[in-house]
């Protein structure tokens, strides 16, 4: 019997299973989760930086590179997911000429220390 390296699709399946589990009702209180706190407690500039993040520095094609890349991609995915989820829950916050992300970028440029969640809530008024 030989031990083989995990294939890429195996790693993707494990990641998907972890993502599904994290969305289960058993873990419903997520207010202390880093993916929420970046929106609720940190300056909006951190959200924008995460959404604009490049993975080029992590993507070196090695197994260690994949180990660094997967959590970084998950964090960025959660950040996009929070933004899209908030937008959907509010019935769409995009303006007549701009997306919700563009509105967030503009509001953050005017008030860079304000948490992104506060800026998003202002769009609902």
Q: Closest Cα partner for 77 from 61, 95, 55? A: 55
Q: What pLDDT shows up at residue 16?
A: 64
Report if residue 92 sits inside a domain: yes
pTM over 0.75: no
- Look at 9-18, 48-57, 73-82 and tell me which has the smallest mean pLDDT: 9-18
Q: What pLDDT shows up at residue 1?
A: 46
Q: What pLDDT shows up at residue 57?
A: 83
Report if residue 26 sits inside a domain: no
Containing structural domain, residue 41: 31-123
Please enumerate in sequence order all residues whose Cβ is within 8 A of that of 89, keeping only pairs 6 or more positions apart, or say none. none
Pairwise pLDDT comparison (96 vs 2), residue with the higher score:
96
**How many CB atoms lie under 10 A from the CB of residue 16?**
10
Question: Per-residue pLDDT for 101 more than 80?
Answer: yes
**Which tens digit of pLDDT belongs to each residue from 50-63?**
999 988 888 788 88
Report if residue 24 sits inside a domain: no
Q: What angle do CA 87, 38, 27 make, to 5 degrees?
A: 80
Arithmetic mean of pLDDT, 20-29: 56
Domain count, the chain: 1
Contact at 8 Å (CB) between 100 and 90? no
Q: What percent of the chain clears pLDDT 70, i.e. is strictly above it? A: 72
């Amino acid at each position: 019997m030989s031990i083989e390296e995990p294939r890429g699709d195996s790693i993707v399946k494990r990641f998907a299973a972890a993502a599904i589990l994290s969305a289960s009702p058993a873990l419903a209180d997520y207010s202390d989760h880093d993916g929420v706190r970046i929106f609720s407690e940190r300056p909006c500039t951190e959200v924008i930086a995460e959404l604009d993040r490049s993975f080029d520095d992590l993507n070196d094609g090695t197994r260690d590179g994949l180990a660094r890349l997967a959590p970084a991609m998950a964090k960025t995915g959660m950040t996009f997911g929070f933004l899209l989820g908030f937008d959907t829950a509010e019935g769409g916050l995009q303006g007549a000429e701009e997306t919700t992300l563009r509105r967030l970028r503009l509001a953050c440029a005017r008030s860079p220390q304000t948490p992104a969640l506060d800026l998003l809530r202002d769009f609902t008024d």
